[in-house]
């Protein structure tokens, strides 16, 4: 069976990338295969994770490439690798409308809250969990969605709820959301979309 060729775009540690690679190794992602990991930072530990799993890598560092040049270079790299599905895993650059159009309906993102709550511009990483705690909500979680021109506004593929505890810090909550929601639903959503593309 020919698998969907997946490229994962990362900026940092790559914990979601690791969950995806582990799920692939365990046969939980059987209709797709990660063939490329692209980072926008030379120091991204995600690159190390990819190399350990024998996945090809490419880096287009924010400090070396202006944004439009960087996007063009990333697109060229994706096409050279025959990428059919793009998975954003802690990718800290908002993609332009032109970039999104090139892969319309074939870019996935995971957000560390239950969209449409706590989404949009400026809502990423610890900022999300700080906002959740400041608002006093009792349940948060993670959302996998298709990427559109609207930040965090694309159609939702999967969500999983996670309880907020009374003594949570943003860091503690971030870890729980990753463990209980992100690492669980992202591989499942990727498999579902790959199956659909096939």
Q: Six-digit token pair at 62?
A: 């924010």
The residue from 31, 81, 111, 129 that is catalytic is 111
Query: Which residues, other chains included, contact 176 with Cβ-Cβ below 8 Å and sequence gap of 6+?
Result: 162, 165, 168
Closest CA relative to residue 186, chosen from 3, 11, 2, 34 = 34
Calculated CA dihedral for residues 187, 126, 171, 117, nearest 10 degrees: -70
* Complete DSSP assignment for 69-132: HHHHHHHHHHHHTT--EEEESS--SPPPHHHHHHTTT-EEEEESS-TTTT-STT--THHHHHHH
- Closest by CA to 92, choosing from 134, 141, 36, 43, is 43
CA distance 125 to 112: 7
Whether 111 is a known active-site residue: answer: yes
- How is residue 189 annotated by DSSP? H
Angstrom distance (rounded) from CA 5 to CA 26:
18
Catalytic residues: 111
């Amino acid at each position: 069976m020919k698998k969907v060729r997946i490229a994962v775009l990362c900026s940092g540690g790559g914990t979601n990338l690791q969950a995806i690679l582990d799920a692939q190794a365990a046969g939980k992602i059987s209709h797709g295969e990660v063939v490329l990991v692209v980072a926008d930072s030379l120091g991204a530990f995600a690159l190390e994770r990819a190399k350990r799993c024998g996945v090809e890598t490419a880096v287009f560092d924010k400090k070396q490439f202006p944004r439009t040049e960087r996007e063009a270079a990333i697109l060229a790299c994706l096409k050279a690798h025959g990428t059919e599905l793009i998975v954003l895993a802690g990718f800290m650059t908002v993609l332009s409308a032109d970039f999104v159009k090139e892969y319309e309906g074939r870019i996935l993102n995971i957000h560390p809250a239950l969209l449409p709550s706590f989404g949009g511009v400026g809502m990423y990483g610890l900022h999300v969990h700080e906002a959740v705690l400041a608002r006093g909500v009792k349940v948060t979680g993670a959302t996998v969605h298709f990427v559109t021109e609207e930040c965090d506004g694309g159609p939702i593929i999967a969500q999983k709820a996670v309880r907020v505890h009374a003594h949570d810090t943003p860091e503690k909550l971030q870890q729980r959301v990753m463990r209980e929601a992100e690492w669980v639903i992202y591989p499942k959503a990727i498999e579902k979309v790959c199956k659909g593309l096939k």
